[in-house]
Amino acid sequence: MENRPGAVREPCRALADAGINIMALSLADTANYGILRLIVQDPDRAQAVLERAGSVVNVAEVLAIDVPDRPGGLADLLDILDSRKLQIVYMYAISHGSRHKQAAMVFRFEDPDRAIAVLAGHNINAVSSVELFARSQ
């Protein structure tokens, strides 16, 4: 999105009008433009809605990983990722509130398949999209 008034509001309003709930969101910015990253239940429908509203949309594969909701929860996970040299392109949080003692982090990995294998080896599992959306109900 260009850095101008309405740039964030317009796509959010378009999704709202289509009854689409935003599960998680991150906004990365530079001086002139930004990228809005969204987690939604139905990415294909959301893409169609957003494109009709004039946005340019890219659907990317990300992993949601449970992180113990305590100090050190994220740092411990990052220790593992760093030691196995898994490159993180970007990440942001999904909060489920205090009901669950877990928080989930969304990761965009350079090599998602390797990331899944490495994490499985440490008994860390990615949260499936089904589970993720169930938690938000």
- Residue closer to another protein (CB basis): 10 or 69: 10
| Whole-number Å distance between alpha carbons of 51 and 47 | 6
Angle at 100 between CA 97 and CA 103, to 5 degrees: 70
Assigned token pair, 46: 């959301």
Handedness of CA 103, 16, 131, 77 (dihedral sign): negative
Q: Is 5 an interacting residue with respect to another protein (CB under 8 A)? A: no
Q: Is 30 an interacting residue with respect to another protein (CB under 8 A)? A: yes
Q: Among the residues of 84-121, which ranges form H helices? A: 112-121
Stretch that binds another protein, among 12-20, 25-33, 79-87, 123-131 (CB under 8 A): 25-33
**Minimum separation from the CB atom of position 53 to another protein (A):** 11
Q: Is 27 an interacting residue with respect to another protein (CB under 8 A)? A: no
82: left (phi over 0), alpha (psi -120 to 50) or beta: alpha
Q: Is 92 an interacting residue with respect to another protein (CB under 8 A)? A: no
- Over the window 40 to 69, marking each residue x when it contacts another protein by CB under 8 A and - when it does not, the resulting string is --------------xxxxx-x---------
Q: How far is CA 59 from the centre of its chain?
A: 11
Q: Is 108 an interacting residue with respect to another protein (CB under 8 A)? A: yes
Residues at the interface with another protein (CB under 8 A) = 1-2, 7, 28, 30, 32-33, 35, 37, 54-58, 60, 89-90, 108
